[in-house]
């Protein structure tokens, strides 16, 4: 299996995910009308299909709880490691993304909203996290998943959605801490087009 050096906060030697074509159907697709619970507050939901402008959604499998030790079995799954670094990459580049025309950023995982809230507070994320705990988005978009310890998790990817239509897909995303910079580079190519 190919190995690639990783970015900040990530151990070296992680297995590199390959593009298996599981997201090829997404570009050009209308985002389905679905609402997902948000870390904005109790009972708050977000329906990305209804949002005007440019939205970036990055999907991640799961973040570890504070103090949780990540085992070698997790590190051995191509593309699994690096959810917190991915989230922090969007935090660190939030201003630049906004300047390049991104109206909003959301992170999505299958973890519960209370679990996501802890990450948001601990890492000072300036955007909301959405919970697809019921797999509504996964099923509606036919997104790639994998199983870990009996739980279905979403594979790491990012989507650019303009006025309810998916206009760009990043899949696979590796290393995870470059996820936001990949979006920045794409946005720079879109200026004037």
* DSSP structure string for the chain: --B----TTS-TTPBPP---STTTTTTTPBPP---EEBTTSTT-EE-GGG--SEEEEEE-S-PPPTTPPPPHHHHTSTTTS-HHHHHHHHHHTHHHHHHTT--EEEEEESS-HHHHHHHHHHHT-SSEEEE-TT-HHHHHHT--EEEETTEEEEPPEEEEEETTEEEEEE-S--SGGGHHHHHHHHHHHHTT-
Cβ pair 55, 35 in contact under 8 A: no
Among the listed residues 26, 191, 180, the one whose alpha carbon sits nearest the alpha carbon of residue 105:
180
Domain boundary assignment for the chain: 36-41+48-190
pTM of the model: 0.91
The two tokens of residue 48 are 């990305």
- The predicted model gives 133-139 an average pLDDT of 97
State the Rg of the chain over Cα: 16
Fold that domain 36-41+48-190 belongs to in CATH: Glutaredoxin (3.40.30)
**pLDDT of 192:** 60
The two tokens of residue 65 are 């709880």
- The predicted model gives 95-114 an average pLDDT of 97
pLDDT digits (tens, 9 = 90+) for 32-60: 999 999 999 888 999 999 999 999 999 99
Cβ pair 111, 78 in contact under 8 A: no
Percent of the chain at pLDDT exceeding 70: 94
pLDDT digits (tens, 9 = 90+) for 50-86: 999 999 999 999 998 777 787 889 989 999 999 999 9
Which residues sit opposite 46 in a β-bridge? 36
**pLDDT of 147:** 95
Give per-residue burial for 31-50: e unless 16+ CB within 10 Å, then b: beebebbbbbeeeeebebbe
**pLDDT of 6:** 33
């Amino acid at each position: 299996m190919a190995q690639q050096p990783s970015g900040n906060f990530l151990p070296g030697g992680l297995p590199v995910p390959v593009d298996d074509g599981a997201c090829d159907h997404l570009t050009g697709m209308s985002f389905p009308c679905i609402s997902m619970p948000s870390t904005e507050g109790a009972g708050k939901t977000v329906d990305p299909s209804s949002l005007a402008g440019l939205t970036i959604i990055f999907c991640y499998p799961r973040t570890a709880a504070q103090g949780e030790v990540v085992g070698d079995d997790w590190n051995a799954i191509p593309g699994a490691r690096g959810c917190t670094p991915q989230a922090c990459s969007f935090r660190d580049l939030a201003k630049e993304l906004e300047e390049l025309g991104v109206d909003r950023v959301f992170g999505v995982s299958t973890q519960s909203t209370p679990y996501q809230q802890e990450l948001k507070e601990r890492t000072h994320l300036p955007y909301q996290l959405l919970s697809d705990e019921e797999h509504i988005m996964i099923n509606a978009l036919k997104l790639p998943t994998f199983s870990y310890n009996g739980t279905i998790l979403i594979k790491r990817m990012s989507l650019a959605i303009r006025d309810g239509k998916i206009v760009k897909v990043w899949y696979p995303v590796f290393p995870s801490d470059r996820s936001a910079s990949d979006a920045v580079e794409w946005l720079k190519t879109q200026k004037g087009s």
